[in-house]
Amino acid sequence: MDELIYTLKQQIIEALNLEDMKPEDIDENASLFGEGLGLDSIDALELIVLMEKNYGIKLKDPSQGKEIFKSVAVMADFIQKNRTK
């Protein structure tokens, strides 16, 4: 799980182009949207693309993202349970 979390952080940094950030800078339990990292609806769409591309998970409805993208840890847990690659 720790390995997945670390990889996921790297993938998030790349997908969202968080230029000056390193995986260590992201707290896996902190909120990704709003108060935490301050991401928005477009970032959520980027994360949907990331999950499909890297883990074969398709989200049809962007509003599902609200729960799944709560934090890196929640996202990793969802990926672990639903990944097809």
Interface ranges with another protein (CB under 8 A): 15-21, 37-38, 40-42, 45-46, 48-49, 52-53, 62
**31 CB burial (10 A radius; 0-12, 13-18, 19+):** middle
- Give 53 or 83: the residue with its C-beta nearer to another protein: 53
- Least separation in angstroms between CB 68 and another protein: 14
Nearer to another protein, 15 or 73 (CB): 15
**Which structure tokens are listed for 46?**
């980027």
Cα end-to-end span (Å), the chain? 16
Residue 65 beta carbon to another protein: minimum distance, rounded to whole angstroms: 10
Q: How far is the CB of 56 from another protein (least distance, A)?
A: 11
Contact 28, 72 (CB under 8 A): yes
